[in-house]
């Protein structure tokens, strides 16, 4: 609905602009064409009144000359069509702009950028890449914007090595220029880290640990607490059977203060299972919980306490936790632990659902939700924007 309204608004602008230019004699053309232009103009209005938006677009764009005063209107129209999914029509509009000899270099560059955006939307990445590379060399004003769009192309093609090079160029510019194009989109150093992790994980999956290690380490260059890289290093150490090293990397995760999540607890369990110390997981969870008290860690810690120190100790811990931080899942865990004759209680299943509630993950940028972590949101395509919803202790009154 918003895009439909935007298109109608632009059509009205086109109609007004075309009528104004015709009235002031802005179209310097021959007599034969002059007789036809008013006809195009009125046809466009008829199409618009009849709700035939597509035909109105064609009529008005034909009637409205492309010059310095109308270029932005043509570009805006193409942009709205692209967002509506009418990419072919957007391409036609922007290609027609490039065919106009009267445009300045700046206007040509802007038209090139819009056409590259059209090609990206259409999945024509090779053609978009060529236009963007030309812009990088030819336009100082649009260079950084072109690099940002070039990242989209490399991401779509999973060309992570090229993406790293472009992200590095953006980082270098940001160091030299305060305003830095880096304000567009996500920070370039964050993107670079994920591109390196993509390469490292691919190497790890193929069994090439020697390639994966320096990539994970390089991903920590600008942020030594980058969760994805640290988790990758833990897995790499496990593959190489270096359990002490894996534990050291996990200690860095604990110290980073990054919110706990089921995948982190599974990784910790795998590390501790490889060690001969039977209480290692208990001590790690205790330390983790002190840094970041949450119901997920509380329940995991209670399970370890019950295993090593008995049921009463585990329940005492949960009651203390419940007193300080009310939580429905912890209350359900306590009730379940003290209930006898499970098979005879119809409320058992409900309590068990509360106890085992998995809050899932959600993108803090677009709201996409799922049952597992994605390093890149499938919805908005942002990197590292999906977080575990149950990270904080849940309060029934909240």
Q: Which domains does the chain have, with CATH numbers?
A: 193-258 (1.25.40.10), 277-398 (no CATH)
Q: What is the DSSP letter of 314?
A: H
Chain position carrying tokens 């259409």: 122
30: confidence class by pLDDT, cuts 50, 70, 90? very low
Residue 389's pLDDT is 82
3-state secondary structure of 207: coil
Distance, in Å, from the CA atom of 285 to the CA atom of 21, rounded to the nearest integer, reads 73
Per-residue pLDDT reduced to its tens digit, 349-386: 655 555 555 678 999 989 999 888 999 999 999 999 99
Between 5 and 388, the more confident residue is: 388
| 215 close to 196: Cβ distance less than 8 angstroms | yes
Residue 64's pLDDT is 55
Task: Give every CB contact of residue 313 below 8 A, 6+ residues apart in sequence.
Answer: 305, 306
pLDDT at 392 over 80: no
Per-residue pLDDT reduced to its tens digit, 228-287: 999 999 999 999 999 999 999 999 999 988 778 999 999 999 999 999 899 999 999 999
How is residue 64 written in tokens? 């409205």
193: confidence class by pLDDT, cuts 50, 70, 90? very high
Residue 242's pLDDT is 95
| 109 close to 135: Cβ distance less than 8 angstroms | yes
28: confidence class by pLDDT, cuts 50, 70, 90? very low
369: β partners: 362
Q: What is the mean pLDDT of the chain?
A: 80
The winner for highest mean pLDDT among 92-106, 125-139, 175-189 is 125-139
Dihedral sign for Cα atoms in the order 219, 220, 223, 227: positive
How is residue 74 written in tokens? 């043509």
Closest to 347 (Cα-Cα) out of 336, 356, 358:
336
> Average of pLDDT values for 140-161?
96
| 232 close to 216: Cβ distance less than 8 angstroms | yes
Between 347 and 330, the more confident residue is: 330
Distance, in Å, from the CA atom of 192 to the CA atom of 290, rounded to the nearest integer, reads 32
pLDDT at 150 over 60: yes
26: confidence class by pLDDT, cuts 50, 70, 90? very low
Distance, in Å, from the CA atom of 219 to the CA atom of 51, rounded to the nearest integer, reads 53
For the chain, the first-to-last Cα distance in angstroms comes to 34
Cα–Cα separations (whole angstroms), residue 142 to 3, 113, 236, 303? 26, 8, 41, 57
> Average of pLDDT values for 111-124?
96
> Average of pLDDT values for 327-340?
70
**Element housing 143 (H / E):** helix 143-157
pLDDT at 334 over 90: no
pTM equals 0.81
Percent pLDDT > 70 in the chain is 72
How is residue 391 written in tokens? 């990270």
Per-residue pLDDT reduced to its tens digit, 36-71: 444 544 454 444 444 555 655 665 555 555 666 667
Sheet architecture: strand order including 361-363: 369-370, 361-363, 386-388
Cα pseudo-dihedral 179, 183, 187, 191, rounded to 10: -120
Residue 384's pLDDT is 93
Task: Give every CB contact of residue 156 below 8 A, 6+ residues apart in sequence.
Answer: 120, 123, 125
Percent pLDDT > 90 in the chain is 49
21: confidence class by pLDDT, cuts 50, 70, 90? low
CB atoms near residue 125 (< 10 Å): 18
Task: Give every CB contact of residue 247 below 8 A, 6+ residues apart in sequence.
Answer: 271, 272, 275, 280
């Amino acid at each position: 609905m918003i895009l439909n309204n935007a298109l109608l608004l632009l059509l009205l602008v086109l109609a007004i602009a075309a009528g104004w230019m015709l009235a002031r004699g802005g179209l310097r053309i021959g007599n034969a064409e002059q007789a036809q232009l008013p006809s195009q103009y009125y046809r466009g209005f008829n199409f618009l009144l009849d709700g035939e938006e597509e035909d109105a677009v064609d009529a008005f764009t034909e009637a409205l000359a492309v010059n310095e005063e109308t270029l932005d209107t043509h570009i805006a129209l193409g942009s709205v069509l692209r967002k509506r999914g009418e990419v072919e029509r957007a391409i036609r509009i922007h290609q027609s702009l490039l065919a106009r000899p009267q445009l300045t270099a700046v206007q040509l560059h802007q038209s090139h950028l819009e056409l590259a955006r059209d090609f990206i939307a259409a999945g024509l990445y090779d053609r978009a890449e060529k236009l963007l590379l030309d812009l990088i060399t030819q336009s100082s004003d649009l260079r950084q914007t072109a690099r940002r769009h070039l990242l989209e192309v490399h991401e779509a093609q999973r060309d992570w090595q090229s993406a790293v090079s472009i992200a590095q160029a953006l980082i270098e510019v940001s160091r030299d220029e305060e305003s830095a194009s880096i304000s567009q989109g996500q920070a370039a150093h964050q993107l670079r880290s994920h591109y390196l992790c993509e390469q490292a994980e691919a190497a790890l999956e193929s069994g090439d640990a020697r390639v994966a290690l320096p990539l994970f380490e390089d991903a920590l260059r600008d942020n030594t607490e980058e969760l994805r890289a640290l988790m990758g290093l833990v897995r790499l150490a496990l593959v190489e059977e270096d359990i002490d090293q894996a534990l050291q990397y996990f200690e860095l995760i604990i110290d980073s203060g990054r919110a706990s999540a089921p995948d982190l607890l599974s990784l910790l369990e795998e590390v501790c299972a490889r060690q001969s110390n039977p209480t290692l997981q208990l001590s790690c969870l205790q330390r983790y919980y002190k840094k970041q008290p949450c119901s997920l860690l509380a329940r995991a810690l209670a399970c370890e306490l019950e295993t090593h120190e008995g049921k009463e100790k585990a329940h005492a811990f949960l009651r203390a936790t419940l007193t300080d931080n009310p939580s429905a899942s912890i209350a359900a865990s306590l009730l379940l632990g003290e209930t006898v004759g499970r098979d005879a209680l119809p409320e058992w299943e409900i309590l068990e659902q509360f106890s085992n509630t998995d809050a899932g993950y959600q993108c803090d940028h677009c709201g996409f939700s799922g049952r597992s972590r994605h390093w890149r949101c499938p919805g908005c395509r942002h990197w590292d924007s999906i977080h575990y919803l149950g990270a904080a202790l849940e309060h029934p009154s909240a």
